[in-house]
Amino acid sequence: MKYKTQIEAARKGIFTKEMEYVATNENINRELLIKEVSNGRLIIPGNKNHKNIRPVAIGELSSTKVNVNIGISKDCPDKDVELKKVKKAIELNVDSIMDLSCWGDTRDFRQNLVEVSPCMIGSVPMYDMIGNSGKALKDLTKDDFLKCVKDHAIDGIDFMTIHAGLNKKTAQRVKRNRRLTNIVSRGGSLLFAWMEMTGNENPFYEFYEEFLDVLYEYDVTISLGDGCRPGSIHDATDASQLEELITLGELTKRAWAKNVQVMVEGPGHIPLNEVKTNMIIAKKLLFNAPFYVLGPLVTDIAPGYDHITSAIGGAIAASSGADFLCYVTPAEHLRLPDEDDMIEGIMATKIAAHAGDVARKFPGAIEKDNNMSKARAELDWEKMISLSINPEKSYKYRQSAKPDKEDTCTMCGEMCAVKNMNKILSGEEVKIS
Amino acid sequence: MKYKTQIEAARKGIFTKEMEYVATNENINRELLIKEVSNGRLIIPGNKNHKNIRPVAIGELSSTKVNVNIGISKDCPDKDVELKKVKKAIELNVDSIMDLSCWGDTRDFRQNLVEVSPCMIGSVPMYDMIGNSGKALKDLTKDDFLKCVKDHAIDGIDFMTIHAGLNKKTAQRVKRNRRLTNIVSRGGSLLFAWMEMTGNENPFYEFYEEFLDVLYEYDVTISLGDGCRPGSIHDATDASQLEELITLGELTKRAWAKNVQVMVEGPGHIPLNEVKTNMIIAKKLLFNAPFYVLGPLVTDIAPGYDHITSAIGGAIAASSGADFLCYVTPAEHLRLPDEDDMIEGIMATKIAAHAGDVARKFPGAIEKDNNMSKARAELDWEKMISLSINPEKSYKYRQSAKPDKEDTCTMCGEMCAVKNMNKILSGEEVKIS
């Protein structure tokens, strides 16, 4: 094999079978694709040990992708519950699944997950390590960090969140520029605590190259975590967030220099009027590396509806630079999501991704809307249902309320504008009985 | 009485008790308020026969308002079902309720509704007239239109949708510039059909002044309907829509000249990247009259989730010019909404309105987010629930999943970033067992 990673292959002019798959499946021009992979603006995550993966591209050249989080934990230790959710998520055509497991037999779960999933799998090795090491947090060493990343790589994880940007300097910045909600990233807060307790530098930052070597070996994409992502509208776009972003840009270049594929994670909670600004500045400071955002949530006041607050921010983000959206469910800020929450979260995030693609005139996006609109103009209810983002839900709604006139719906009944326009435009009389 | 309408009072320098209420309740400067009411940029709808109304302002100077639609129809003739929804909507603090009734004893229902509602009540008299006249559509005369508007005015309706902008000239424009989804406004399509069948001009347009005289008498706000609102992403911002908008601007000025309060209705389906443009052009062509939008929906592919597609468009609209959002429910395009759909629609629209207010830095808006964020930073779960947009839902979620450690939630358990940051920042050790 003349290459270990997709970016290395692209730089050597090799058009891999993964690129082939993506070029065909996502209808991307081959030359453009290889160019974009080689300069890091497009990634095709895929661990060499994840044998049944269906490669997917993330970056400006491809459609906006959607990720789902699952995982076993002390509060939800049931592997089967989580694997059932995985099955459903795959059925609903998500692009990626992140395993946030942090308690119990995480390795067994992870290996199962990789085995059953054609979607790319991401993880946050640190959660697993901290939850399962048996050591106190402060006693963990760089070798523990490294071993955990290696284990995940061997198990076939396609991309890993590594919070390398939150170093001691930025931790000082956080302490000097106090926030309303401090650090809300789980990984970020644990690293902050670890640095405070040990006095050591963040090992992901200090020994970054060693971690890159492991990732390179398996073609694991590094997903640079944003430990300082804002956890409230108040804290958005502040000094700590931006300083970490600058560091993440530097780390991006270093990963590229080692032929490791990179994406970068972004906020978080951002007021609507700052979302686009955040995307522009991130793309600039990250040299157009693929940008992966959580939300952003455009208000803090709606727990129970954060799939909606996120869809608003996510759609604007996707229209202005974000390439990959992490789903947020109605359970956010309240509890672990159950399967229904997951479905709601997936749908809301898919809507945001698609609305963003339509807005940025991504090829093929608006055609989906046009097909639906044609079906509506023809009052073709079967087609409307089959073209809808969740045919099961549309069908259920339609079935639940039988209209007096079958070609209409109970919303307008015989005052149906579509029906009456079709009549009058073809010269028929419009009658309302 | 020296005045009939709020705008007339303001122009005479009279500070009415309704202005007083609004100034206090919405914390608006008195001088600015009277100035904005006099120039039409702020309205305070309130029919003189709606005795128990709690006045509310709509316009740039006030927070973004939210409307809910209800009504009896052939497919849902049960008055009690609709009145139960009304009660719930009032409980959820909506600003306005539109009665779209078009079948059955609509007058009795309408009078009941006005009697029980402290919220302003809107209606579309034409639906009622067409559904209940006993005449064929083509046999309806200008006098039928006028009588129906008068009846609604007498019954205490605070604002009425009148589709005066879709005249014969614009109907020709619609025929010359064919759309994917023609005219989707119920009122617009019926007027279009009526004009086609009778050969007459739209009576709301032709006899506009006579309608204004009726509205003036009761201080009914005219809500100029947009018969040509786009019904698909494809049709957004097209010739028909914009020509009608120009006419609506002219009609706005004519209403102001007669001391009638005005707002104007807007789209509909608009791709995300055109929402702001639509708001700017509407505000310009409408001389900053309050703008009342339905959605806008930023994609057509999500029936079952159109409360979300609308919340995305609505939030952007509210941040860039829209003053009043008509709710859209998950049932849109599929069936009449039931009570659960209504609640989902209200919440999504309230989120959009608030996110817009935060984005445009409306005084007091972000404080709500900050209070929630403070409660989160303090892990004060009771407060988080009470401050949330739907405390009932947040409580239910929280109760449904008891965490291992009581101050955390099952999402992160003992890896709770908030808890661990609070500990480490106060010098305590962070332990993960």
DSSP secondary structure letters along A57-88: -EETTSPPEEEEEE--BTTB--HHHHHHHHHH
Kind of pairing between the strands at B65-70 and A120-123: unpaired
* Nearest by Cα to B256 from B221, B210, B217, B291: B221
Alpha helices, H only, B71-183: 79-91, 106-116, 125-132, 142-154, 168-176
Q: What pLDDT, in 10s, does the model give residues A388-405?
A: 999 999 999 999 998 888
CB contact under 8 A, A75 and B403: yes
With b for 16 or more beta-carbon neighbours within 10 A and e for fewer, the A291-312 pattern comes to bbbbbbbbbbbbbbbbbbbbbb
Residue B412 is labelled as binding a ligand: yes
Tokens standing for residue A118: 């054609």
Residue B181 within any structural domain of the chain? yes
Interface of B with A in 306-325 (CB under 8 A): 307-309, 311-312, 315-316, 319
Q: How far is CA A36 from CA A23, A60, A177, in A?
A: 12, 9, 38
CB contact under 8 A, B334 and A397: yes
Nearest to A420 among B193, B271, B417 (CB): B193
Q: Which one of A418, A424, A426 makes the best mutation probe of the B interface by having the most chain B beta carbons within 10 Å?
A: A424
Q: How far is A14 from chain B (nearest CA, A)?
A: 37
Q: Which one of B101, B430, B431, B433 makes the best mutation probe of the A interface by having the most chain A beta carbons within 10 Å?
A: B430
* Cα B62–Cα B65–Cα B70 angle in degrees, nearest 5: 155
CB contact under 8 A, B415 and A384: no
Q: Lowest-confidence range among A241-255, A344-358, B174-188, B405-419?
A: B405-419
pTM reported for the whole predicted model: 0.98
CB contact under 8 A, B186 and A374: no
CB contact under 8 A, A409 and B368: no
As a whole number of angstroms, the distance between CA A161 and CA A148 comes to 12
| C-alpha atoms less than 13 angstroms from C-alpha of B186 in its C-beta half-sphere | 21
Q: What pLDDT, in 10s, does the model give residues A283-332?
A: 999 999 999 999 999 999 999 999 999 999 999 999 999 999 999 999 99
* Cα A93–Cα A96–Cα A324 angle in degrees, nearest 5: 100
CB contact under 8 A, A417 and B186: yes
Residue B127 is labelled as binding a ligand: yes
Contact call for residues A229 and A184 (beta carbons, < 8 A): yes
Q: Is residue B9 scored above 80 in pLDDT?
A: yes
Nearest to B413 among A73, A423, A431 (CB): A73
Strand partners, A414: none
* Interchain CB contact of B135 with A (< 8 Å): no
Classify A43 as helix, strand or coil: strand
Residue B152 within any structural domain of the chain? yes
- Is B269 buried (19+), middle (13-18) or exposed (0-12) by CB count in 10 A? buried
| Chain A residues close to B307, C-beta within 8 Å | 308
CB contact under 8 A, B272 and A234: no
As a whole number of angstroms, the distance between CA A390 and CA A387 comes to 8
pLDDT category of residue A1 using cuts at 50, 70 and 90: confident
Residue B132 is labelled as binding a ligand: no
Q: Is residue B267 scored above 90 in pLDDT?
A: yes
* Interchain CB contact of B193 with A (< 8 Å): yes
Kind of pairing between the strands at B58-59 and B42-43: antiparallel
Tokens standing for residue A238: 């502040």
Structure confidence at residue B158 (pLDDT): 98
Residues spanned by the domain of A350:
47-52+60-359
Q: Is residue B402 scored above 90 in pLDDT?
A: no
Q: Is residue A376 scored above 80 in pLDDT?
A: yes
| C-alpha atoms less than 13 angstroms from C-alpha of A217 in its C-beta half-sphere | 14
* Interchain CB contact of B426 with A (< 8 Å): no
* Cα B403–Cα B408–Cα B412 angle in degrees, nearest 5: 80
* Nearest by Cα to A373 from B393, B136, B299: B299
CB contact under 8 A, B308 and A305: no
Compute the average pLDDT of residues A122-133. 94
Residue A102 is labelled as binding a ligand: no
CATH number for the domain spanning B238: value is 3.20.20.540
What's the whole-number average pLDDT of chain A?
97
pLDDT category of residue B17 using cuts at 50, 70 and 90: very high
Residue A67 within any structural domain of the chain? yes
Q: Is residue A122 scored above 90 in pLDDT?
A: yes
Number of Cβ within a 10 Å radius of residue A342: 24
Residue A216 is labelled as binding a ligand: no
* Nearest by Cα to B234 from A328, A431, A70, A377: A377
As a whole number of angstroms, the distance between CA A59 and CA A7 comes to 13
Q: To which residue do tokens 């609505």 refer?
A: B314
Contact call for residues A63 and A318 (beta carbons, < 8 A): no
User: Cis omega before residue A296 (within 30°)?
Assistant: yes
Task: Tell me the ipTM for this assembly.
Answer: 0.97
Interface of B with A in 198-257 (CB under 8 A): 231-235
Residue A4 within any structural domain of the chain? no
| Chain B residues close to A411, C-beta within 8 Å | 331-336
Residue A354 is labelled as binding a ligand: no
Q: How far is CA B196 from CA A123, A420, B160, B186, B191, in A?
A: 63, 12, 24, 15, 8
Compute the average pLDDT of residues B180-184. 97
| Chain A residues close to B390, C-beta within 8 Å | 302, 304-305
Q: How far is B302 from chain A (nearest CA, A)?
A: 5
Q: How far is A35 from chain B (nearest CA, A)?
A: 28
Residue A156 is labelled as binding a ligand: no
Q: Which one of B298, B385, B396 makes the best mutation probe of the A interface by having the most chain A beta carbons within 10 Å?
A: B298
Structure confidence at residue A270 (pLDDT): 98
* Nearest by Cα to A171 from A149, A145, A202: A202
Q: How far is B327 from chain A (nearest CA, A)?
A: 14
- Phi then psi for residue A82, to 5 deg, are -70, -35
Compute the average pLDDT of residues B23-31. 96
Interface of B with A in 148-177 (CB under 8 A): 175
Residue B171 within any structural domain of the chain? yes
Residue B238 within any structural domain of the chain? yes
Residue B334 within any structural domain of the chain? yes
Tokens standing for residue B387: 């401050």
| Chain A residues close to B353, C-beta within 8 Å | none
Residue A412 within any structural domain of the chain? no
DSSP string covering B265-290: EE-SB--HHHHHHHHHHHHHHTTT--
How many structural domains are present in chain B?
1
Tokens standing for residue B21: 């209420």
Structure confidence at residue A405 (pLDDT): 84
pLDDT category of residue A80 using cuts at 50, 70 and 90: very high
pLDDT category of residue A20 using cuts at 50, 70 and 90: very high
Residue A292 is labelled as binding a ligand: yes
CB contact under 8 A, B185 and A319: no
Interface of A with B in 38-67 (CB under 8 A): none
CB contact under 8 A, A189 and B420: yes
Q: Is residue A157 scored above 90 in pLDDT?
A: yes
Classify B221 as helix, strand or coil: strand
Q: Is residue A433 scored above 80 in pLDDT?
A: no
Structure confidence at residue B101 (pLDDT): 94
Q: To which residue do tokens 């963003």 refer?
A: A356
As a whole number of angstroms, the distance between CA B24 and CA B43 comes to 16
Q: What pLDDT, in 10s, does the model give residues B65-77?
A: 999 999 999 888 9
Q: What pLDDT, in 10s, does the model give residues A216-236?
A: 999 999 999 999 999 999 999
